[in-house]
Structure 1
Amino acid sequence: MEWSLMLHRAPKRVNHAAVVVDDCIYSFGGYVSNHDFSDRTIPIEIFVLNTRTYKWQTLIVDSKNAPYRRYGHTVVAHGRNVYLWGGRNDEYCDGILYCFDTVSRSWSQPKVSGIVPLASDGHAACIHKDTMYIHGGYIEQISQFTLSLHALNLCTLVWTEMPLKGQYPLFRDFHTMCCDGDGNLLVYGGREMPNSVYGGPDKETYPNNLHIYMVEKQLWRAVSYANTDHTPSGRRSHSSFFYKDKLFVFAGFNSQTAMHMNDIFSFDMRTSSWVCHSHPDVRPSPRRRQAMCRMGSLVYMFGGTHPDTSNPNNTDSEPYDSEDEEKESLEELEDLWILDLEPRLETLALLKVVRSHLPLTGLPVLLQKRAYTVPIKDHRYSPYQSCGSRRS
């Protein structure tokens, strides 16, 4: 695998949520400084990436039935529709289900029934066939973390609370949940608490365990590792995705070590073993709370936040973190990266040419254009491009 593309001028967002619909990536909301996150009349922003042209578009849609501006929410795609649930602004946490139709570009608030989950943020979500799953997170209404796993049938719009049986994960938020090839749920990482009430930073733990919820059996199981030589360190606010029998984990943050990460690990479900895939020279900067979407063998990652070394006098903590968390100076990111899981020979050759600083003359015109998007050595700009030369 290779990080094969990097462009700037993506939406500068933190704790946003994104999904793939057809050839586009839809990104919803997220935190950005100097914006009003207390007014519930301001609708959530929608950004769309055309994956053929790498151009971003801000959608202007009717605000009727739209969710208010927020962060810490989740979205899943179901056909042409995107379902948004949870999240919060600086004052409120929302438990209404919203549906965005990508064809008519309109919002609706479907009427749901069943055992409806309480509003939360920092939860995890995924979809398998016609069912959306919501797990964990923090419920502001009762000031507690939750262990619950809820399922929403998107055809009947009936919520169900799944049985809490087996070796289930403890209270946590900012974790990830993916579906494996059989429709089972994989929960990894997050900020874990020993009980439902937040006890302060000294009570936080960052286990690197993996749990699987077997949907047909309605049973949780802790996954055993065949080896511990290459296991990722515990983290929260990371990204994960599933591809060809493997769970991939990227980046994240550990408050106990005050470390932001930019590594990549994969867990092979067949061998129960972890592998580290990190490239020492060419990779995004360490970060947390980015968005990541897989489209075939290409993975799109954008946004997030990391320490702002250029502004040491800024000691404001993130408004979307716990108020008990250590204050730090943070920078909101606006870059877009593509991780190619199965790069073709043409791509590998182009990466070699660019990273070896070889001349582009003689290459086909299309490859010469692609050369300007090739990232090198953690630099924000390719040696062939200048700042501001291209909008993504």
Structure 2
Amino acid sequence: MPLWTVHLKGAPKGQDQPAAVAVRHEIYTFGGSIFAAYHSYQIPVNVFNTVTLHWTALPPVSDRKGKRPRCVPSWRAGHTAVLIEDTVYVCGGFTAGGNICKSKPYAFDVDTHRWSQPRVSGTVPKARSYGAACALGRVMYLHGGYTLDGYFAPGVRSEVYFDIYDDSVYAYASDLHKLDTRTMVWSVIVPAGGQPPPPSAYHSTNIIGTKMFVFGGEGAVDEDEDESFHNHVRVFDTENLRWLNHSSTRLRPQAQRLYHSAFTWNRELYVFGSKRRKNPRHLWKFNMETFSWKKVHCKGKGPSDNWMCCCMVGDRLVLFGGYQGFDPVHDDLYILDLSPSLKMLCKLAVIKRGLEESGLPHNIRWELEAMTGKEHTRPTEKMEGTEKKEASEKNEATEKNEAAKKNGYDGPE
């Protein structure tokens, strides 16, 4: 049974709408809430190490004049990010001024931490935000989102929405594009058949095998507000370029889902959370073989926030950021272990029961401290010979001093 194992504070501010990818044992986050945009004029990049459970902010990049280079994206939210080999492609979004960003991707090298903006050709998608993107091999797929007008290619469904607050016209799209990163050529996918998803934004796309699963989202505002939100699954066959028709499932996640967290594990689609408040914090899984939903019961205390960002690292789901309504952006991070090991269960028992830790190996004590959010340092595996011995002696001396202080000894006068 899945188990909530870690709850930490201290996630970077502005993490309610970032884009994130998992790279080996680390999670890279890009951008986030535009309400925090006064901190920087360029997109912030933060890295969470799932081993040390520490966040690191990468330094901003500037040219000789101290300005943001053109190859570095501006601060944004509502954008997408996908990892293809050793490169993250960041696309779309909107800026603090409300400007919708172009769909020409920025490329971030996870090994060198360098930005670039590759030249692209073909039919570049319209500027958009809150679209959904995923990757299959060397190809990135981009679906839906909203733009500033409703003019699309023939046959593409869209829904136009007039915002009375800023007198702007927005269009929710249902178009599907792909970017082949080997040639950097964009192309429009014209499905050979099937029922496509309704025009949507704030939805999710995930790949299982060669199928793309589109779930949730929001369409143009309707008189019946519930009809504007979706909780249907649509499946696109990337080999035959068709939307697959399936009978509607009786059991679905309660409440229509947007701003939800979606991920795949063991060839099943999982959904957690939502902006909507009707039971959004339950975890649901979707089986692609039976085309059916099932509620997943988790042990432990999970998050109470919505609009959280998520990444899968091995068998663990990492959720962070988010906020509820107009509450301040939260700095919480949670880890859900979908297949907890015996070692993890033992560590949780030590924490829960307050058992004595002094007799445990140093690495285990360090992991326990990390799980509880205490200050900790871990001996690096790169230290050899004298350095490792000195580090061990230093740790041992520190522990003896702390034990002596507890016994009332304050050291030499």
- Distance verdict in 2 for CA 1:161–1:339, change over 3 Å: same
Distance 2:305 2:297 in 1: 12
* Aligned twin of 1:331: 328
Q: Shift of the alpha carbon at 1:199?
A: 5.1
Would the alpha carbon gap of residues 31 and 273 (structure 1) be closer, same or farther in structure 2, given more than 3 Å must change? same
Given that 1:210 and 1:222 are in contact with CA atoms closer than 8 Å, whether structure 2 keeps it comes out as: no
Residue 98 (structure 1) shift: 0.7
Q: CA shift at 1:333, angstroms?
A: 1.2
- Match of 1:346, SS state, is helix
| SS state at 1:234 partner | coil
Give 1:261 deviation, angstroms.
2.5
| Counterpart check, 1:192 vs 2:199 | no
Does residue 93 in structure 1 map to residue 100 in structure 2?
yes
Conserved 8 A contact 1:114-1:158:
yes
Match of 1:84 among 90, 101, 105: 90
Consecutive unaligned residues of structure 2, counting only runs of 5 or more, are 63-67, 151-169, 378-413
Separation (CA, whole Å) in 1 of partners of 2:112 and 2:370:
33
Mark the CA change 1:390 to 1:169 in structure 2 (over 3 Å): closer, same or farther.
farther
Name the counterpart of 1:274: 293
Q: Which residue of 1 aligns with 2:203?
A: 175
| Residue pair 2:347, 2:368 contacting (<8 A) in 1 also | yes
Partner AA of 2:273 in structure 1:
A
Pair 1:226–1:237, CA change in 2 (3 A): closer
Deviation at 1:360, TM superposition (A): 4.6
Letter matched to residue 233 of structure 1: A
Q: For the Cα contact (< 8 Å) 1:260–1:286, is it kept in 2? A: no
Say yes or no: does 1:253 pair with 2:285.
no
| Structural mapping, 1:40-119, within 5 Å | 42-60=41-59, 61-62=61-62, 63-64=68-69, 65-89=71-95, 90-95=97-102, 96-119=104-127
| Cα distance in 2 between the residues matched to 1:355 and 1:275 | 30
2:355 matches 1:371: no
| Structure-to-structure mapping, 1:306-385, within 5 angstroms | 306=324, 328-356=325-353, 358=355, 360=357, 362-372=359-369, 374=371
Q: What is the CA-CA distance between 1:370 and the residue it aligns to?
A: 3.3
Corresponding pairs, count: 346
Q: Is the 8 A contact 2:255 2:278 kept in 1?
A: no
Provide the C-alpha distance between the structure 2 equivalents of 1:260 and 1:330, rounded to a whole number of angstroms: 19
Shift of 1:373: 5.1
- Measured in 1, the distance between the counterparts of 2:376 and 2:197 equals 44
Work out the CA distance in 2 between the residues paired with 1:128 and 1:82.
13
SS in 2 for 1:92: coil
Amino acid of the structure 1 residue aligned with 2:117: Q
Question: Tell me, what secondary structure is at the counterpart of 1:305?
Answer: coil
Does 2:186 match 1:159? yes
**2:10: which partner in 1?**
9
Q: 1:259 to 1:280 in 2, by over 3 A?
A: farther
Percent sequence identity over aligned pairs: 31
- Contact 1:67–1:98, Cα closer than 8 Å, also in 2: yes
Higher helix share: 2
CA RMSD across the alignment: 2.5
Q: Mark the runs of 5 or more structure 1 residues left unpaired by the alignment.
A: 307-327, 375-381
Contact conserved, 2:4 with 2:299, CA < 8 A, in 1?
no
Which residue matches 2:323? 305
Contact 1:260 1:287 in 2 (8 A): no
Question: 2:30 maps to which residue?
Answer: 28
Matched, 1:220 2:243: yes
SS of match in other structure, 2:225: helix
Equivalent-residue separation in structure 2 for 1:332 and 1:341 (angstroms): 26
**How many Å separate the matches in 2 of 1:203 and 1:263?**
19
Moved more, 64-73 or 159-168: 159-168
* TM-superposed deviation, 1:94: 1.0
Deviation at 1:294, TM superposition (A): 1.0
1:150 to 144, 160, 177: 177
Greater mean alpha carbon deviation, residues 337-346 or residues 171-180:
337-346
SS at match of 1:36: helix
- What is the alpha-carbon distance in structure 1 between the residues aligned to residue 36 and residue 314 of structure 2? 36
Match of 1:243 among 248, 259, 265: 265
Aligned to 2:135: 127
For residue 240 of structure 1, give the secondary structure of its aligned residue in structure 2. Answer: strand
Question: In 1, are the aligned partners of 2:194 and 2:244 still within 8 Å (CA)?
Answer: yes
Deviations 1:12-61 (A, max 9, x none): 21110011223321100011535339xxx921111112222122111123
**CA-to-aligned-CA distance 1:141-192 (integer Å, 9 cap, x gap):** 5421111010000101111111143111101110110001x22100111113
- Cα distance in 2 for residues equivalent to 1:236 and 1:226: 19
Partner residue in 2 for 1:377: none
Contact 1:119 1:141 in 2 (8 A): no
Cα separation, 2, equivalents of 1:213 and 1:329? 35
Tell whether the 8 Å contact from 2:3 to 2:300 is kept in structure 1 after alignment.
Answer: no
CA distance in 2, matches of 1:169, 1:222: 11
Which protein is bigger by CA-based radius of gyration?
Answer: 2
C-alpha contact 2:24 2:313 (8 A) present in aligned 1 = no
